Amino acid sequence: MKRAVFLDRDGVLNIEAGYIHQVEDLHLIPGVAQAVRRLNDKQIFCCLVSNQSGPARNYYPVSHVEALHKRLCQLLENEAGAKLDALYYCPYLSEAEGGTNPEFTRYTTWRKPNTGMLVAAAWEQDLDLRNSFMVGDKATDVDMAHNAGCTGILVQTGYGESVLSGKYQHHTKPDFVAANLVVGVDWILKHFD
């Protein structure tokens, strides 16, 4: 089994901009492409895991989420020759949480902080969750990491600062707090050598 680094999307890889309705409005956070490339160079499995409730909220179709991910991958490649080895996302949302599109309105184990995306990735990609890392900017990212037995890293980009101050979501206990993905990857690599 391989160890992996799981990465949230918004606020970790790309600049947090709410629901991105125009594909060209997705922009990388400075330094993230190089950080992902460092993981690639060490042959560490890099996997996106992201809640994307836009389709459930009827903001845009799943094809738009796929187009955003295509742009994300293209930007990583263009900037540093970096790549994600797999991408998992959850377009579903329960009615209680605001889902309105019947096709995507349901409870699912894939929505963070549930572990469905990590379990699916581990199963399909032969990954060792107990020795893997999850990097996110929300309490739910850290909670998902811990629920699956991963090490949870909270970055201060995106919503990270608001989580730490108690203004967003709820308090959580990350295994490490990083200013951004670059610092997070520095810390992760110390645990791989």
Active site residue ranges: 8, 10
The three-class DSSP label of residue 155 is strand
DSSP string, 1-35: -B-EEEE-SBTTTB---SS--SGGG--BPTTHHHH
What's the start-to-end Cα distance of the chain, in Å?
Answer: 17
83 in a known ligand binding site? no
Residue 49 CA to residue 9 CA, distance in Å, equals 7
> Is 9 annotated to bind ligand?
yes
Is 130 labelled a binding residue?
no
| 47 assigned ligand-binding residue | no
Q: Is 137 annotated as a binding residue?
A: yes
Q: Please check if 50 is assigned to a binding site.
A: yes
The answer on whether 8 is annotated among ligand-binding residues is yes
DSSP class of residue 131 equals G
121 annotated as ligand-binding = no
CA–CA gap between residue 2 and residue 127 (Å, rounded): 5
Detail the residues annotated as belonging to a binding site for Mg(2+): 8, 10, 137-138
Detail the residues annotated as belonging to a binding site for Zn(2+): 90
Detail the residues annotated as belonging to a binding site for substrate: 8-10, 16-19, 50-53, 111-112, 138
Detail the residues annotated as belonging to a binding site: 8-10, 16-19, 50-53, 90, 111-112, 137-138
